[in-house]
Amino acid sequence: MRKRRVVHISTKMIHLNAKIISRGGEKPQSAVASAAYRSGTKIYCEYDGEIKDFSRKGHVIYSEILLPEYAPKEFADRSVLWNAVENFEKGSRAQLSREIEFSLPCELDADERLKAAKKLAEFFRDKGMVVDMNLHNPDHKNPNPHCHLMLTMRPFQKDGTFLEKKCWREYDLDKNSQKIPTKKGNDYKSHKVYATDWDDKGNVEKWRALWADIETDFYKKNGYEITAEHRSFERQGIDLLPTIHMGAAVTAMERRGIKTEIGNMNREIKKINALIISSMENVERLTDKIAFLEKEKKAIERDEEKETQTQESKPDTLISILMEWQQNRSTFIQDNNIRQRMDTKTGNIKDFSAMVAFLQSQKIETLEDLLKMVEDTKKLRSDNIHNQRELNAKRKKMSNIVDIYQAYKPYAEYLKKYESLSGRQKQSYYDKNADKIETALSYRTGLKNMSGTDKLLPKTWKKELDGLKAESAKITHDLAKDDAILGELAEIADKVAMVQRAKAKQNEILPNLGEEKRIKKERGSYGRE
């Protein structure tokens, strides 16, 4: 039985996001609260006079603060660090911290994951930022190791204080070092000068590439032939679909055994990618076989005798080649040892009638027809993958909305009751149910932002999602059909190539056998004389 070639996909996509923690926006944030949450600790916030207590939070497996040059030593204390940031930034919309959140490779052990994360953290420290590093692993049964880096937004001066201005105005000068007036003449041309490059728009892409390089190095170091990649499959020119990143709410639901729309979508994507990889394998087989058959065709055309024969008669069709092999398999090679060896390689053609029927139904007669069918099918596959990719983008949004609504429902009553109360009753109810109320508010805000409406429309959302799922199922069916066609073509190309090889071997052997008989006959006659 022929060993099937396997296409190995040894590229793994990284996950790294960057965001700003600020007092601005619909839901103002606190650097102290964010740090307490990510480290699973209790910290008093001087800015609002509240205790941020997340000491009951589990799965924080490592915490460390990395200090750059000129940073005060006391900033190694998380409470001192982030209270200093809160007190320095006075604005109501002030940016307090930049957070880098990234997944850690499950293939590595805990020590290697820590070393990899620390290497990225040291990059930011060496840039002049204080780095508050926290590693999480919420579920050991279904591991999701990841790291949070909270970074300061301002560089330090030599005296250990924050730089007052992150940017300033600088005048443009002419060749005589004189200021250049504007067209209106009421001012001078100028440009902004930034103290650092930390806010450059292209930084996130660079940081993602850096983490991909670090992750790849650690894979190689630990014996894995895996390349981490920060670019999407589409940007790499790879016809595979990326899985959808699950947020905290969806991840928590899946962890509790609750099937989510995003989770289901990811499971479907994995099945689709398996179909795509299978078709890639078949294309690779077809490419090899067609290259061989084209080479054989050119060799025949170079042979004058066979060329004359070709001109006088109609070229063999793929069906006639298969029929010839099926009918005359045992007579191709007369030498018993060679026949056994060839039969071991080729064997009988299975489902011969089905192959012939397939060729007839698809109107495939020649090698050129076969090649055209392959190219057409590849094009259809590529179009289907493109359509699926676009569909997934729409489905991702609706799946998130439906999942967040499902996460919101258990807490909705707490929020509804809270909003119905007033005065001391309202405050008292909040004090008793603060976590549930805040969770409900967070989910409702998320639903508003994603759906673009204040109304909760679960039936409408579900109907739209069901329509998108139906479209996705059709494309998946088409991809499976494309893979089946490519698989059938690959099998036919295999058999045709086997016939050509056997006939070529026959042409090599039989003339030699004839020559041996002639020599023996001559020698016999000479001996009798």
DSSP-based three-state secondary structure for 240: coil
Mutual angle of helices 458-528 and 318-328, in 10-degree steps: 50
Regarding pTM above 0.75, the answer is no
Both tokens of 318, joined, read 């793929």
pLDDT for 137:
87
Q: For the chain, what is the radius of gyration of the CA atoms? A: 35
CA dist., res. 491 & res. 498, Å (int)? 11
* One-letter amino acid of 199: D
Q: How far apart are CA 528 and CA 367, in angstroms?
A: 54
Closest CA to 210 of 127, 108, 111: 127
Q: CA–CA separation, 152 vs 78, rounded Å?
A: 12
Measured between alpha carbons, how far is 20 from 385 in angstroms, rounded to an integer?
A: 34
- Assign 227 to helix, strand or coil: strand
Task: Name the amino acid, one letter, at 392.
Answer: N
pLDDT of residue 340: 40
Beta carbons of 408 and 447 less than 8 angstroms apart: yes
**322 by DSSP, 3-state: which?**
helix
Interatomic CA distance for residues 218 and 232, integer angstroms: 21
Q: Show the low-confidence residues of the chain (pLDDT under 70).
A: 1-10, 26, 139-142, 232-239, 296-316, 324-352, 500, 502-529
For residues 468 and 264, the answer to whether their CB atoms sit within 8 Å is no
Half-sphere exposure in the Cβ direction for 374 (13 Å, CA):
26
Phi-psi region of 226 (alpha: psi -120 to 50; beta: other; left: phi over 0): beta
**Residue 146: closest CA among 99, 98, 105, 107:** 105
Torsion, CA 154, CA 157, CA 160, CA 161, rounded to 10: -60
Compute the distance between CA of residue 4 and CA of residue 285 in angstroms, rounded to an integer: 9
The token duo for 465 is 């999602």
Q: What number of CA atoms fall less than 13 Å from residue 168's CA on the CB side?
A: 6
Q: What is the secondary structure of 113-178 as a DSSP string? A: HHHHHHHHHHHHHHTT--EEEEEE-S-SSS---EEEEEE-SSPBPTTSPBPS-SEEEEE-B-TTS-
For tokens 């090899």, the residue is: 288
Q: Residue by residue, what is the 3-state secondary structure of 323-369?
A: HHHHHHHHHCCCCHHHHHHHHHHHCCCCCHHHHHHHHHHCCCCCHHH
Domain spans in the chain, listed from the N-terminal domain onward: 11-152+204-231, 156-195, 316-521
DSSP 96: E
What is the CB neighbour count within 10 angstroms for residue 291?
Answer: 11
As assigned by CATH, the class of the 11-152+204-231 domain is alpha beta
pLDDT of res. 121: 97
- DSSP line for 243-267: PPPP-HHHHHHHHTT---HHHHHHH
